[in-house]
Amino acid sequence: MSSAEPILRVSDLEVSFATDEGLVRAVDGVTFELAAGEVLAVVGESGCGKSVTAMTLLGLTRSANARFAGAAYYGDTELLGASDAELQQIRGAEIAMVFQDSASSLNPVQRVGRQIAEQIQAHEKVTDAQARERAIELLERVGIPNARKRVDAYPFEMSGGMRQRVMIALALSCDPSVLIADEPTTALDVTIQAQILERFRELVAQMGASVILVTHDLGVVTDIADRIAVMYAGRIVEQGALDEIFYDPQHPYTWGLLGSIPRLDRPRPKRLPTIPGLPPSLADRPQGCHLRPRCPHEFDQCAKTPPLVARVPGATAHLDRCWLSCDRKRELREIEPGVIGLRGKHEVELTKGGAGS
C-alpha cells in the first residue's frame, strides 16, 4: 500500500508552546508518511500530541507562543514554512479537516448550507446558487434525510449525529486528497457512531482520499485503519500495519492500551488491566524513554531515548521505540491467554497508582 510516492511526509516534527509553566513540548520528533488512499490512525491518550500534530499540518497551531521544527511535505509544498496564502490554497481544498465537537466547531449563527457553500466558494469560482446546490448534494451524500430542507437549518436545530455529518460534508466539499479526522465520532452515541463511521468509510473509499484518523479509541481504529501510529507524550512509540499492532505489539505502552479496552467478546476478567501511574507533564518529561516511570519492564538502557526503528525481524515497516529485544517483548506482554496487556514485576497497584507526581 505504501509503495507509491507518499502524499504526505512528516519528518522530525517538533511543536512546543511557551507557557507560564515553561516550555510545553507537545510534539517531540514525529516522523511518518501517508500513502495515497491509505488510512493512518494516530492513536493515543489526551495530551499525547496527536491533535497538535494533525492541526500543525494545516497551520492551525500557529501562534505567537508556538515554536516549530522539522518538516512536513505535502507534495512539494513544505507546510510548516508555507505562507498564509499558500496554506489557504491547501486548507479545505487539498487537506481538509473533520473536527470532533460538531456543536462548537460549526458557526452557531450561520445556516449549515451556508457554511458548506462558503468553503466551496473559497476555492472555486461558483455562484451562490451553484454552491448551495453542491451543499445540498453533499448533505445527501453524507446521509442527511430531507437535505433540501435541512440545508437551511442552523446547527443547534440538528442532532449531534446530523451535525457530525455536516462536518464531514464540509470536509469533503472540495474533494480533498487528504482528510484529517480528529476524533470524528467520539462525542456521539454508539449506534450513531456506527452509522457515521460506516458512511465515512464508504465516502473516503469512493473518493480515494488518504485519511489521518486521530483517535483515542482502538475500537474505531479496527473498523477503518490500514496503519496505526501509537503516540505517547509527544512521540510516536510504535508504528505499523493494523494487524501488526494488534497481534504483535512491540511497545509496552501499546500493550497497556490494548489491555485496558474492555472486551465484550471475551470472558470478563476479574480486574481490568491498567497502566499504572499517570502520563508525564509535557513541560517536565522523564529523560530517555517517556514511559520509563510507568513501565514495569524498565531497565538501565531506558535512560537513553530509544530511536523509532524496525526491531521485528522481517517486518521493515513495523517500528517501535523500546530497547527490549523482540523475543523478550513477546515473552513479557501476555497477561492471560489471548489478552495482551502490561504486566510486570509489580502488579498494577491501585491505591498508590493515581497519587504519582
Partner 1 sequence: MKRFVIRRILGMILVLFAISIATFCIFNVIPNSDPAQRLAGRNPTKGQIEAIRRQWGFDKPVYVQYVKTMEKVFSGDLISYVSQIEVDKEILQDAPRTFSLAIGAAIMWMAFAVALGLYTAVRAGRFADRFLTALALIGISMPVFWIGALMSYYLGFKWNIFPNGGYVPLTEDPLQWAYHLIMPWTALSLLFIGVYSRILRSNVLDTINDDYVRTARAKGLSERQVLLRHVLRNSLIPIVTLWGLDFGAVVGGGALLTETVFDLQGVGQYAAESVAQLDVPPVLAIVMFGAFFVVVVNTVVDIVYATLDPRIRLT
Partner 2 sequence: MSSLLEVEHLTMHFPVRGGTVIDRQVAKVHAVDDVTFSMVEGETVGLVGESGCGKTTLSRTLLRLLEPTGGTIRFRGTDVTHAKGRALAPMRRQMQMVFQDPYASLNPRKRVGQIIGMPLALHGTKRDAREERVAELLERVGLSPEHINRFPHEFSGGQRQRIGVARALALEPRLIILDEPVSALDVSIQAQIVNLLEDLQEALGLTYLFVAHDLSVVRHVSDRIAVMYLGKIMELSPAEELYLKPIHPYAEALLGAIPIPDPKENRERERVVLPGEPPNPMNPPSGCVFHPRCEYATDVCRSVAPPLMEYAGGHLAACHHPLNVTPREVAMAKRSPASPLSAGDETPSLAAPVADAGS
Residues near partner 2 (CB under 8 A) are 45-46, 159-162, 189-195, 198, 216-223, 242-243, 246-247, 256-258, 260-265, 268-269, 271-275, 278-279, 348, 350-355
Amino acid at 24: V
- CA 338, distance to chain mean position in Å, is 27
Q: Which does 137 bind (CB under 5 to 8 A by kind): partner 2, partner 1, none?
A: none
CB of 213 to partner 1, least distance (A): 16
90 is a site residue for partner 1 (CB under 8 A):
yes
**Backbone angles phi and psi of 108, in degrees to 5:** -65, -20
Separation CA 149–CA 128 (nearest Å): 17
89 is a site residue for partner 1 (CB under 8 A):
yes
Q: How far apart are the first and last CA of the chain?
A: 43
CB 211 within 8 A of CB 25: no
56 vs 193, beta carbon nearer partner 2:
193
Q: Look-up: residue for cell 504519582?
A: 356
294 is a site residue for partner 1 (CB under 8 A):
no
**Residue 77 bridge partners (DSSP):** 74
97 vs 237, beta carbon nearer partner 1:
97
108 is a site residue for partner 1 (CB under 8 A):
yes
122 is a site residue for partner 1 (CB under 8 A):
yes
132 is a site residue for partner 1 (CB under 8 A):
no
Closest CA to 238 of 44, 7, 49, 2: 44
| Rg of the chain on CA atoms, in Å | 21
Closest CA to 236 of 256, 257, 251: 251
Separation CA 266–CA 215 (nearest Å): 23
167 vs 308, beta carbon nearer partner 1:
167
138 vs 289, beta carbon nearer partner 1:
138
Selected binder of partner 1 within 20, 84, 265, 300 (CB under 8 A): 84
Q: Which does 76 bind (CB under 5 to 8 A by kind): partner 2, partner 1, none?
A: none
77 is a site residue for partner 1 (CB under 8 A):
no
Contacts with partner 1 by CB under 8 A: the residue count is 30
CB of 187 to partner 2, least distance (A): 10
Burial of 108 (0-12, 13-18, 19+ CB in 10 A): exposed
Strand ranges in the chain using DSSP code E only, listed in sequence order: 8-19, 22-34, 39-43, 66-74, 77-78, 95-98, 178-182, 210-215, 227-232, 235-241, 309-310, 319-320, 334-336, 339-340
The side-by-side arrangement of strands in the sheet containing 22-34 is 22-34, 8-19, 66-74, 77-78
CB of 91 to partner 1, least distance (A): 4
Residues 157-176, one symbol each (x = binds partner 1 by CB under 8 A, - = not), give -------------x---x--
Site residues for partner 1 per CB under 8 A = 55, 58, 60, 64, 84, 88-93, 96-97, 99, 101, 104-110, 118-119, 122-123, 154, 156, 170, 174
